Amino acid sequence: MSLKDVIHDIEGYQNIKSEIEVLKKYGFDHGARRGQFDAILEMLHPKSLRLRVSEIIDETKTTKTLRMVPVQGYLPPFQAGQYISLVVEIGGVVTSRDYSISSSPSQIGYFDITVRRVGDGFVSEHLLEETKQGDEFTSSAPAGNFYYNPLIHGRDLVFIAGGSGITPFMSMIREVTGRGLDRRIHLFYGCQWPDDIIFGQEIDDLSRRHADFTCTTVISEPPVGYRGHTGFITARLMQEILGGLSEKMFFLCGPEAMYAFCREELKQEGIPERKMRTEMYGPPRNVTTCPGWPEHIDADARVSVSMKGGETIMVRSTEPLMNSLERHGIAIPSLCRSGECSLCRTKLLKGRVFQPEGVKLRKSDRQFGYIHPCMAYPISDIEILLP
């Protein structure tokens, strides 16, 4: 005998049985839900987007905005400050770069990405020189954690932008002014030269029309006779312009050197960590200068990378593993390219890699030998298990 034979002896069993019979007759037909899950996901978090360049806007001598419309369907919603990871193919190598969306999230008919030429950036060069109206790209859906949180960030915001680091702030400023949101923003915008200022005219116009939006431009290499603020964005300058710094929330986006400088300045003024939100930046310019980099490994060192059950390639120790893999036509999932999102999480089976401080590995991922190849530098021959 088993429970099955005596199950009807359980008190209430018969009542529930008849309840079930009624429900089977009149209950909801879940067949209507076929395909619903994919449809919801496709609308909010599509796996990738197909974008077409509808317009190219010249911003400065070195900067252009590419206006991207969906090739088909709709664009998903995003938070001002988020980025898309744009896939590009250059000379047979498929790689990707992140670009903050500079347009306002109030409309999702298009995404603007604003690209500035960087010294040796072969992707920015490609986007600025080779890209034409009508070209199509694949990108990720919007991602990233550099955005305003109404629950803890208050309404008094200070944006510190360096160079092309203005782009996420432009989205936020456009949203707040466009929607008349109850937030006060002061933008400190650091540029090398006056003709480097992106969105200068619009920022001027907006600050004239909105009492709650003000801006200070700071030029680090001013031409003779320049009359505005010059040098760096110092705590002293901020104090001078804002009066006091307490009770304000600081958002920073710009080059590595600016973070180091401005964060320290704010720290000296007693601003706690929680009051500073910093956008991530990609791999360091020169990894050999990172704290902890093994001294005996020089900039030209080469090591082998073997894929379990696959090929072995030779790579440079000073290049992020992900870039080396891409050079060899091996694509692994990528998104932030800053060690943060963990999408490229890969198991290291043998050998050692250097991962700079700030690579956001889970505690147990570290324990079980996972690495984030977008910010991992092989410093010995290694073997990996592709995800």
Binding site for another protein (CB under 8 A): 1-3, 6-7, 9-13, 16-17, 19-20, 23-31, 33-38, 40-41, 44-45, 145, 149-152, 272-274, 333, 340, 342-345, 360-365, 367-368, 370, 385, 387
Q: How far is the CB of 56 from another protein (least distance, A)?
A: 32
Q: How far is the CB of 299 from another protein (least distance, A)?
A: 30
Q: How far is the CB of 342 from another protein (least distance, A)?
A: 7
Q: How far is the CB of 365 from another protein (least distance, A)?
A: 7
- The CA distance from 347 to 386, in Å, is 7
Which residue, 31 or 225, has its beta carbon nearer to another protein? 31
Which residue, 219 or 376, has its beta carbon nearer to another protein? 376
- The CA distance from 72 to 269, in Å, is 50
Which residue, 132 or 363, has its beta carbon nearer to another protein? 363
Is the separation of the CB atoms in 66 and 56 below 8 Å?
yes
Q: How far is the CB of 267 from another protein (least distance, A)?
A: 13
Which residue, 231 or 369, has its beta carbon nearer to another protein? 369
CA of 154: how far to CAs of 122, 183, 323, in Å?
Answer: 40, 8, 39
- Identify any residues that bridge with 381 across adjacent strands, giving them in sequence order: none
Which residue, 97 or 153, has its beta carbon nearer to another protein? 153
Which residue, 201 or 364, has its beta carbon nearer to another protein? 364
Q: How far is the CB of 333 from another protein (least distance, A)?
A: 5
Is the separation of the CB atoms in 45 and 76 below 8 Å?
yes
- Identify any residues that bridge with 354 across adjacent strands, giving them in sequence order: 377
* Greatest Cα-to-Cα distance within the chain, rounded to the nearest angstrom: 99
Which residue, 16 or 69, has its beta carbon nearer to another protein? 16
| Cα angle 97-95-117, degrees, rounded to a multiple of 5 | 45
Kindly report the backbone phi and psi dihedral angles of residue 314, in degrees, each rounded to the nearest multiple of 5, phi listed first: -100, 135
Which residue, 19 or 240, has its beta carbon nearer to another protein? 19
Kindly report the backbone phi and psi dihedral angles of residue 45, in degrees, each rounded to the nearest multiple of 5, phi listed first: -135, 65
Long-range contacts from 25-31, C-beta under 8 angstroms, 24+ separation: none
- Identify any residues that bridge with 86 across adjacent strands, giving them in sequence order: 97, 139
Q: How far is the CB of 145 from another protein (least distance, A)?
A: 6
- In sign, the C-alpha dihedral spanning 253, 258, 259, 265 is negative
Q: How far is the CB of 22 from another protein (least distance, A)?
A: 8
Q: How far is the CB of 387 from another protein (least distance, A)?
A: 5
Q: How far is the CB of 321 from another protein (least distance, A)?
A: 16
Which residue, 34 or 209, has its beta carbon nearer to another protein? 34
Q: Amino acid identity of 108?
A: I
Which residue, 28 or 211, has its beta carbon nearer to another protein? 28
